[in-house]
Structure 1
Amino acid sequence: MRKEEELESRLLSDVEPAPADSEGSAYAVVCALLASLTSIIFGYNRGVMSGAQKFVQEDMGVTDGQLEVLIGATNIYSLVGSVAAGWTCDRVGRRRAVALSAAMFLAGSAVTAAANGYAALMAGQLVAGVACGFGLVVAPVYIAEIAPARSRGFLSCIPEIAINSGILLSYIADFALADLPTTLSWRLMIGIGAVPPLFLAAAAVFAMPETPRWLVLHGRTDEARRVLARISGDADRRLQEIVASVREASPKSAGESPPGVWREILVHPAPAVRRVMVAILGLHVFQQASGVGAMVLYAPRVFSHAGITSDRAVLGATVLLGTVKTVAIVVPLFLADSLGRRPMLLASAGGMAASLLVLGISVRAVATWWAAAACVAAASAFMAMYSLGFGPVIWIYASEVLPLRLRAQGTGIGTALNRVMSALVGMTFISMYEAVGMAETFYIFAALSAAAWVFVYAFLPETKGRSLEEMESLFDTAVANKPSPRATLS
């Protein structure tokens, strides 16, 4: 024990003077913005097929069924990417995982844009889908570990803002390129997505530091100390907390082997870890079960169903939808650290349920100008309410509540489930509304959003203002304070 104390003292001695809070925060913001380039590219790849799908169908002879498979399969591929991203983040580091994600985005966009048949489209979407899975994991993990506790909610909202910005940019590109010849328009819409990854790869290699927690976990404490000195006004205390957290996760004796990450998460989790994983997985299920993927991918179809007949009017309404979604996502940036995670999630789920109910009523009405206007307004309200909470806050929550030793792969598991749900919605939406009706489909989404409100209210503790090292004890306390069934019945 004496040697451990001496080692910790040596680690914390001679730490470079910490910058002023404003300087450290500025550096952390720059790092978060660079990491969020991954999210912009993901958003662009996610949204571009909304407008491009019509031209792909005309040019390549793709049927509705093939289109559902093409779009849904991308999410299945991203499931593979999200699971692999957790392992990659732990092995090679968060920063190198960002660079790998950028390389795959570049390749996937290029192959899809150059496709000369359905098989080539699927191949390009395979690579892009794996890249999407990487992007959804690496940016939240990187930012959660690089951000000071006082601004983690603020910085952790940036990836979701970036995703929405990427979606909006894809809608604008779809609108701007729609009048080009069909065989050229969709290729340019998708091919533009190959440009930003070049800048992201360069940023990851030359400008982004590795996270201090990963560095400590791999014994590179001198580098961790230098990074903390740039991003934290209390670098000494933060390094001590991280070292202590890593020590607690290490074997207690020389002959003891550390438990495997997968075993600790899924096979024999501690009560607090089990509660954390249920919270994370539940949030990911309800986020996609709300039908947000259907609106992102199929908004033009919904607007056409409501009576908007002009292609440019449909794409213009879709741009409006993306604009509202992107503007609304800025609000959590300023509220996540003051208002808290739970109130924002509760308000978001309630608002989504109400707007989806109105959306269902509007598409059921006779196709008139007011029904079309109500449809666009309700869809915009849904996107706004989603962006106020369930869009960004679940990524904040999921990336901050897991213990350091489990964070990357636990985030990967949650993201994989998110992609499964997204694929389920993307691959069944057309078939679903053809089978039960467009209005009834949105009524189902409204009911699932109401269920999300109940889940958040009953199960999620508040996490704002707590350091990452405090989260496990928070969930330990939540488990300890949970009333027994006997006490509940008495």
Structure 2
Amino acid sequence: MQLRNMALQKPAGYVLASILCSLGGFLFGIDTGIIGPVTVMEDFTQYVGNPTPTIHGLIVSSILIPAAVSSFFAGRVADALGRPRGIAIGSFAFGIGAALEGASMHIAMFIVGRIIEGIGEGLYLGMLMVYVCEISPPRNRGAFSMGPQLLTTLGLVTGFFTCYGTANVGSSLSWRLPFILLAGYSLVYSMAVLIWLPPSPRWLTLHGKTKEAEDTWERLGVPAADREKILEQYDATVVEPAIPDARGDNSAAHSTPVTVATPKSKKGELLDVFSSESRPRLFLAVFLMGMQQLSGIDGVLYYAPLLFQQAGLSSTESTFLASGVSAIVIFAVTIPATLCADKWGRRTQTIFGGLSMTATMFLMGSLYAADAVRPGAGAGRWVVIVCIYVFAVLYCISWAVGIKIYAAEIQPQRTRASATSIAHGSNWLTNFLVALVTPTLLAQSSYGAYFLFGACTLLTAAVCWVCMPETRGLSLGEIEQAFRDSGRGLSGLKKVGKVVQRKVLRRMPAAVDA
């Protein structure tokens, strides 16, 4: 009977809220999965006019600069309107842009749709991680924060196989239908967020709505022991109101601590992320999020059909199928990576993941440089095809897991939304560069792109070895205190690693029990 009751027990509210929030990653994944195959469909190339590699890159990357610009302001929108409203507005704009792409009458209209889609994407995507990070218990924060990434990989599978299914339609519907479906998904998601996603209790607390914050914590089902203390992260005071029970007894057993946020002056608020306290963490997050894209992952995802063509797969169907299989592999490995997100150290994932991806990229570049990859003959092309899959797997179990979580969790609470948005802006800008130059690099040199991306991952691993402190297993408050205790600048970041290591060692028995 007890097992039956456990099986029928409803998941905690924060679990359901995290899943709903993470579905935003599904939309992003679909767009990433369809844009590469769409741009090599015969009907689309005729519609565009057989674009050059540079124009091809511009079509794909036109979504990214608007996303970068809007992501810089996403934190302000999230702080002003709340996380759910910001996510809903962004996903609605994303859907409108996708609808314009699917209904475009000429290439200019298609590009306008990509731009509007990018504005929405930049607004909502960065907020997903912030929201999940703010409602998740510390011991589960890594796994839940990986939800958007997991759903992104599911979106990749959906996008690739949607194009695989429509490629032989024989009309412009072959490339229009994927965008029309994406628009429908986006608008439904926007409405669902507005209706069912509760506001962040931390956002409510920051805006002085302490009673609503307490009610939301209860609605989310987060245990009192797991509710992050924000006393050190805001100008706040804690009061212990006596809550009478049914007998009118005002005993301490029935009192709940309430954090009351003191209103913060808005003067200089926009520049808080560049204060001496916040600046080192902001710069570290911006660097990591930028280099995440310079690993070349979106070059692989956007242009998977081109990469497989270059490696010797000739037909459109075979390249689309190979791209779809790569998406399935990515999704499959992201599931255990998500479940183990809080078991692996962020620093370890980033450094060793970077070194492994470097080796994979250098191997592919070396094979092309040695002219060992030839269509229809030789083992070199199969080594490259396998390496493409291996690279995607390595990325998904390392940088995809840790970097986005890390960029959000190391920020001070009062600047977390803004700093995370700026870091995502860095991600979008470098993503634009990768999407723009990859077709040209592939056309000009068979190996240049691989050596470039490999060098970037090697540089990142070296920088992280020097100045990336570990944060796994700590609450946001403990991370904040570790940074405060360590001082400023690079020397401060080094000290944080030592402070955090001591905290982790002290917490090991408790973590095992939990």
1:289-338 deviations in Å (ceiling 9; x for gaps): 11111111111111111111111111111111111111122232122212
CA contact 1:336–1:464 (8 Å) conserved in 2 = no
TM superposition score normalised by structure 1: 0.88
| CA-CA distance at 1:136 after TM superposition | 2.1
| Deviation larger for 134-143 or 467-476 | 467-476
More helix by share: 1
1:246-287 deviations in Å (ceiling 9; x for gaps): 2259xxxx9994552332223xx22x4122112101111210
| CA-CA distance at 1:362 after TM superposition | 4.0
Equivalence for 1:46: 32
Which of these residues, 299, 308, 315, is aligned with residue 304 of structure 2? 299
| CA-CA distance at 1:199 after TM superposition | 2.6
CA contact 1:225–1:235 (8 Å) conserved in 2 = no
With over 3 angstroms needed to count, the CA separation of the structure-2 counterparts of 1:46 and 1:260, relative to structure 1, is farther
- The secondary structure found in structure 2 opposite 1:245 is coil
Cα distance in structure 2, aligned partners of 1:146 and 1:187: 38
Equivalence for 2:361: 356
Q: Does 1:31 align with 2:14?
A: no
CA contact 2:93–2:117 (8 Å) conserved in 1 = yes
Please tell me the residue identity of whatever aligns with 1:407.
R
Equivalence for 1:11: none
Equivalence for 1:443: 451
With over 3 angstroms needed to count, the CA separation of the structure-2 counterparts of 1:73 and 1:480, relative to structure 1, is closer
Which of these residues, 143, 150, 160, is aligned with residue 149 of structure 2? 160
Equivalence for 1:106: 95
Please tell me the residue identity of whatever aligns with 2:132.
I
| CA-CA distance at 1:135 after TM superposition | 3.0
| CA-CA distance at 1:231 after TM superposition | 3.7
Aligned-pair identity (%): 26
Please tell me the residue identity of whatever aligns with 1:110.
A
| CA-CA distance at 1:125 after TM superposition | 0.3
Please tell me the residue identity of whatever aligns with 1:409.
S
Equivalence for 2:119: 130
Equivalence for 1:488: none
- The secondary structure found in structure 1 opposite 2:400 is coil
Cα distance in structure 2, aligned partners of 1:231 and 1:362: 53
1:348-398 deviations in Å (ceiling 9; x for gaps): 112211111222234442412633321221000000000011113111111
Equivalence for 1:70: 59
1:191-248 deviations in Å (ceiling 9; x for gaps): 2111212331232122111011000011111111012224455427737x23553225
Please tell me the residue identity of whatever aligns with 2:285.
I
CA contact 2:291–2:460 (8 Å) conserved in 1 = yes
Cα distance in structure 2, aligned partners of 1:162 and 1:412: 20
Q: Does 1:395 align with 2:404?
A: yes
Please tell me the residue identity of whatever aligns with 1:196.
Y
- The secondary structure found in structure 1 opposite 2:12 is helix
Cα distance in structure 2, aligned partners of 1:258 and 1:63: 49
- The secondary structure found in structure 1 opposite 2:278 is helix
With over 3 angstroms needed to count, the CA separation of the structure-2 counterparts of 1:125 and 1:233, relative to structure 1, is closer
TM superposition score normalised by structure 2: 0.84
Cα distance in structure 2, aligned partners of 1:369 and 1:174: 30
| Deviation larger for 120-129 or 346-355 | 346-355
1:15-67 deviations in Å (ceiling 9; x for gaps): xxxxx9x9797322211110111111011112211100012222331512322
Equivalence for 1:186: 175
1:442-480 deviations in Å (ceiling 9; x for gaps): 012111111111122211111112222222222234446
Which of these residues, 298, 310, 314, is aligned with residue 319 of structure 2? 314
Cα distance in structure 2, aligned partners of 1:233 and 1:24: 14
| CA-CA distance at 1:481 after TM superposition | 10
Equivalence for 1:487: none
The unaligned stretches of length 5 or more in structure 1 are 1-19, 485-490
Equivalence for 2:422: 413
Q: Does 1:428 align with 2:437?
A: yes
Cα distance in structure 1, aligned partners of 2:469 and 2:446: 36
CA RMSD of aligned residues (A): 2.5
Cα distance in structure 2, aligned partners of 1:441 and 1:447: 10
With over 3 angstroms needed to count, the CA separation of the structure-2 counterparts of 1:366 and 1:244, relative to structure 1, is closer
